[in-house]
Amino acid sequence: MIRGTTRLIAHIGYPTHTFSLANIAGALITMPHKVTTVALLDQASPAVEIAGSCNAVRRAPDGRVQGDMFDGEGFVRGIGRKGFRLQGARALVVGAGGVGSAIAAALAAAAAAELTLFDARPESAAGLAQRLREHYPRLRVTAGSKEPAGHDLVVNATPLGMKQGDPLPVDVSRLGGKTFVGEVVMSEEMTPFLKAAQARGCRVQVGTDMLFEQIPAYLEFFGLPSTTPENLRALARIRY
């Protein structure tokens, strides 16, 4: 049994001999285990350390259990595929929970110049800002504002939009027409927030794009043959 694997597999509910099998490359981690799995890793990626959660683990050749987080990677791949240039950009991330933290980490890794963070719990945004500064000292990070004006990218990483009548995450009247707007809510293709942003001339990314973009990243992480988001969408049946 490899170091750390007995603890990890027992924790997520699999028999403790699972990782001794030669054909087990790793595992995908879902809620409610994403956060508690972090403490069981031998090696965590910067995305995991910043987000405080993990959604994929693999067995390294030397026996260590490595963990990574791909929600943010999926989001960043999606906006890049749509032609948004992230290097040097200013981004506002509204929501500093698991998915918002993962997206912020991926934006920093992709060389965004400045991040503004907001959360209904100020301490969550402040904590995320501090973790980002520790990993990316040159990144300009501020917390506490959700003013969208002046940002190249605005991300809704909150649950707002999942329920009818939810308020919009930011004041869309303050969005510039050249701002790219991204969404993580998947309850419908075009959420009220995306519709409002599009009406102002903004390019947008729907919530499911993050999901389809991160699946190829998972496959690459495990060293498996990959695919494309286009192929995945063609095969998927999405019901809203």
Which residues are the active-site residues?
A: 34
203 and 153 Cβ atoms separated by less than 8 Å: no
Q: 193-196: long-range contacts at Cβ-Cβ below 8 A with a sequence spacing of 24 or more?
A: 193/156, 193/160, 193/161, 193/168, 193/169, 196/168, 196/172
CA 75 – CA 201 distance, rounded (Å): 21
As a whole number of angstroms, the distance between CA 15 and CA 175 comes to: 51
Closest C-alpha to 51, from 136, 120, 132: 132
What does the buried/exposed string (b/e) look like for 11-22 if buried means 16 or more CB atoms within 10 Å of the residue's CB?
ebeeeeebbeee
